[in-house]
Chain A
Amino acid sequence: MQNVQSVERATAFSVQGLTKIYGTGETQVHALRGVDLDLPQGELTVLLGPSGSGKSTFLNILGGLDSPTGGTVTFQGRDITALDSNGLTQYRRDHVGFVFQFYNLIPSLTARENVSLVTEIATAPLRPDEALELVGLSDRMDHFPAQLSGGEQQRVAVARAIAKKPDVLLCDEPTGALDSKTGIAVLEAIELVNREFGTTAAVITHNAAIADIADRVVIFADGALSEVRVNLTKIGAAEVSW
């Protein structure tokens, strides 16, 4: 499996000439300066790059949270940059799972209920218990976020993201706030989903070591791609260490 050439896979995302400019006039910031990239279906991609190089901006546009200033993003043959706000909501609802550095769980709902939140509005979801089991939290399902550690909270977030069996899983520094042990547990969960359900996954990280678990590594620099490399010797998350 590891050696399968990416070209043979169907393309999940096809990004062309993507630009994003924040602000106007003097204070303009070119967050993205024309990015072209294809992300094949079912691949796990790791995005690296210095702070401020545009990774989050890129990922948010892929996830339908933000719209670009120029260029197109095609998802499964559909141009998502042409969608209006309602269209984007529907797109996120049907296809995208998110995991963020700050877990963004709903404090008033238990772990299980946080997951149910998403399964209730999905078409063919996992059961909430199943999703939590996948991330190894079966014994913590009735705890509220405030009663869970950071790593546990992040795993609930992953469970919530994968419970609807999304087509793509987008993670922005999912291990950023975690120590290496818990970080690895979170990565394992992401990897598992990618492997088991064939979910296309993209993970932003500052940790170059994590790049080893990827099928493909994309490196950003100053709003553009400086390098895209296919990782032929992918390792399991458990083997990563930092």
Chain B
Amino acid sequence: MAIAVVIACGVSTVVMSFGTLASLEVTRDAYYEQQRFADVFAHLKRAPTALVERIARIDGVKRVETRIVEAANLDVAGMDEPVLGQLISLPATAGAGAGTGLNKIFLRQGRLPDPNRVDEVVLSEPFADAHGLIPGGHIRATINGHRRELDIVGIAISPEYIYAIGPGILMPDDERFGIVWMGRDALAASFDLKSAFNDVSLSLMRAADEAAVIERLDRILSPWGGIGAYGREDQISHAFVANEMELLKGLGSVIPPIFLAVAAFLLNVVISRIIATEREQIGLMKAFGYSDLSVGGHYLKLVLLVASVGVALGLLVGAWFGREVTEIYTDFFRFPVLFFKLDLQVFVLAGIASLLASGIGAVGAIRAAVILPPAVAMQPAAPTIYRRGVLNMFGLTERLSQPTLMILRHLGRWPLRAGLTTLGISMSVAILVASLFFYDAIEHLMDVYFHHGQRQDATVVFTEPRNMRALTEIRRLPGVMAAEPYRVVAAKLYHGNRYERASIAGLDGDAILRRALDEDLRPVALPETGLVLSTTMAKMLNASRGSRVRLELLEGQRPVIEVPVTAIIEEFIAAPAYMHRDALNRLMREGPTISGAYLQIDHNQSEALYRDLKNLPAVAGVSLQTAALTTFRKTMAETMNIMLFFYVLFGGLIAFGVVYNSARISLSERGRELASLRVLGFTRGEVSYILLGELAILTILALPFGCVFGVVLAQLMVANLNTELFRVPMVVEPATFAMAMTAVIAASMVSGLIVRRRIDGFDLVSVLKTRE
């Protein structure tokens, strides 16, 4: 039955991991479908509603939904810091403005705003939860320079904002960025957008060519200040969710198969042992005239039967765990629906793999037993020959105690078995290292990003590009110790047949707060001309130093130029592209112009600063670095924790299983020997030492190997990951090795203690009655 459990463990991990991943995708897609999440998105300055007809005529477009999307400063009780709101218009519930139902929000509480009441709003649930806001409450907002008191009538979620990420911010920060839905008329009035829109979403026919649609849409919108349409892939929330799922997949595709492999290995060992102990029976059966084949077949059937029980159990438990974990993630992503889907393929694969593993394990052992003539088989196996071996050469035999000698000789006699046990234990170390390494990687990534690359305390975003006077104004604000200007322009980058959307960040050459870094984290001075790409962007464009990239800037006069790539820099997060600000200003054919500023703040005066910033009409928003840091860590940890928890748990279980298994085998083989020692007056502790000492040696031997394997595994996973939002750096801290090793040692000790209790329970007399 131990075999069945081992198989069940391996199979259930695989089924759980793959089941969860598949289900999450199905669930997400169902949610998208249900809420009619759009396929193509575009933002623009302002266009008349009549333009919709032209858009709708684009080949492949199914539905067109126009909206008004604007930013507002929100004032939430108890928060000094600026809070940015994204105001989004809701279509009228009926009549002419009813819309086509794309990007429908899903009401969790309350109701939709009354079209006749201009101050009623619906808040996004994560934001409302972060501030404890509920329907019936109020929130103050500065909308287009006017302070308004808004009544919260509902709480909703939307597939468009599974993660709500503010402009210029990396990670969702539900405290400082929230979505506010309100009536279209109310918004149109505030921003002077009657019979106009500044945001459009499309859904496409199944066979539509997305790239072509985007191209056409851009052409239609460019006279109206369009800054480039993009597909779901570039939709920030979707990209983020996809990124998280990609991470889970990276973990899930590497670790579970290892579990299965280790399970198969354990199985193999156990089965060979069992068959070996049955050799007398096998001899007897053959003596009675059964053929080799029928004897072998009998045992094979037995093994497969047990294995099948294991597979069935594994599938059941895996499916159950998978469902639970999917549910946790569904809550986490706030999907309003849950579809649990089990991949039949995974089921079948895991099952076949296990049955094969046990079959192969059994066949080898059965062959070895069946091949013997009955007369030989019925006798116990020939005594094992030990050798004095190398130990002798150093006179070690004289210096070591006899029990220690027993340990070493036994290990030396069965090097293959010892090796396999070591391998098994080291695999569990490896799994732990490769799982825990993610935390190191994320810490490293954050350290690079926040402490080397982006050292500002706050980032100010202007509502629209300003001249340098705006910077002088900012510098004059209380608590501003330093302010560095930046210019950001949305752009399309073309290289060869590759195409990417990006924002080109124009930084000053002497910037000290926000810097571009090279591989060794040394700041790189931006060259006076040309484009600087992050490694990720360079890879996506298939460009390298010296490549010429066609740049289509999407603001102002929308210049299109070809620029050389003058440097490649290392960035783990996102895929940025940089230019010297002067060069960018030149390309834009504008004077010294900035989109915002990076600030270094005197924290004693931050309250006054925040207050002043909130009241500056030119300022669209402020994001704080410390907040970004904490939310980054929190978001990453939350996603990974759930899966990693299981992997760490199972990693520990493997260590336990391997050690326990080999301890049991040793015990059954050497029980007589150990009992003899007890008869001779050895205490339980001394006898345990012989058995557990052996395991301790194997465990300790396994630790360094495990660490090495762990790094290899981690590299494998990193190589498997392909995420655009961030690259996972290959960094493993010593503490991670220490933690993995400690966990494995603990697991070994637990199994050792269990086996020790069996030694304590030896029946000494019965051992002595039997022959060896």
Residues of A within 8 A of B (CB): 56, 60, 65-66, 86, 89-94, 96, 98, 100, 102, 104-110, 113-114, 116-118, 120-121, 142, 144-147, 160, 172
Contacts and interface: CB of A to CB of B under 8 A. Distances in A.
Contact of B680 (A90, A92, A108, A113): A92
A142 B683 contact: no
B768 A89 contact: no
B681 A106 contact: no
Contacts of B768: 65, 100, 102, 104, 172
7 contacts: A66-B764, A92-B679, A93-B682, A113-B397, A116-B402, A146-B385, A147-B385
A107 B384 contact: yes
Given A86-B683, A96-B681, A113-B397, A106 B388 contact: no
Contacts of B771: 102
Which 7 A-B pairs have CB atoms at the shortest separation, nearest pair first?
A: A93-B681, A92-B681, A108-B409, A146-B383, A117-B402, A104-B676, A108-B386
Contacts of B388: 110, 142
A11 B403 CA distance: 36
Given A86-B683, A92-B679, A104-B676, A65 B386 contact: no
A98 B409 contact: no
Interface string B669-694: 00011001111111110100000000
A146 B386 contact: yes
Interface in B385-411: 385-386, 388, 397, 401-403, 405-406, 409-410
A53 B460 CA distance: 99
B116 interface: no
Contacts of B405: 108-109, 113
A86 B684 CA distance: 9
A66 B770 contact: no
B96 to A, nearest CB: 92
Given A121-B681, A144-B386, A160-B680, 7 more contacts: A86-B683, A92-B681, A96-B681, A107-B383, A108-B384, A108-B410, A117-B680
Contact of B673 (A106, A116, A142): A106
Contact of B765 (A66, A144, A147): A66
A118 B403 CA distance: 11
B676 A108 contact: no
Nearest to B768: A100
B765 A90 contact: no
Contacts of B383: 107, 145-146
Contact of A98 (B673, B680, B682, B770): B680
A167 B141 CA distance: 97
A122 to B, nearest CB: 9
A142 B383 CA distance: 17
A104 B764 CA distance: 12
Contacts of B678: 89
A125 to B, nearest CB: 12
B676 A106 contact: yes
Given A102-B771, A145-B383, A146-B384, A108 B406 contact: yes
B772 interface: yes
A109 B406 contact: yes
A56 to B, nearest CB: 8
B149 to A, nearest CB: 81
A90 B769 CA distance: 23
Nearest to B382: A146
A144 B402 contact: no
A104 B383 CA distance: 13
B413 interface: yes
Contacts of B673: 106-108
B636 to A, nearest CB: 52
B463 to A, nearest CB: 83
A65 B764 contact: yes
Nearest to A112: B397
B672 A104 contact: yes
A106 B406 contact: yes
Contacts of A108: 384, 386, 405-406, 409-410, 413, 673
Contacts of A107: 383-384, 386, 673
B410 to A, nearest CB: 6
Nearest to A86: B683
A98 B768 CA distance: 11
Contacts of B677: 106, 117
A92 B764 CA distance: 13
Contacts of A172: 768
Nearest to A116: B402
A138 to B, nearest CB: 18
Interface in B751-772: 764-765, 768-772
Contacts of B769: 56
A120 B401 contact: yes
A121 B388 CA distance: 22
A56 B673 CA distance: 20
A65 B679 contact: yes
A46 to B, nearest CB: 20
B402 A98 contact: no
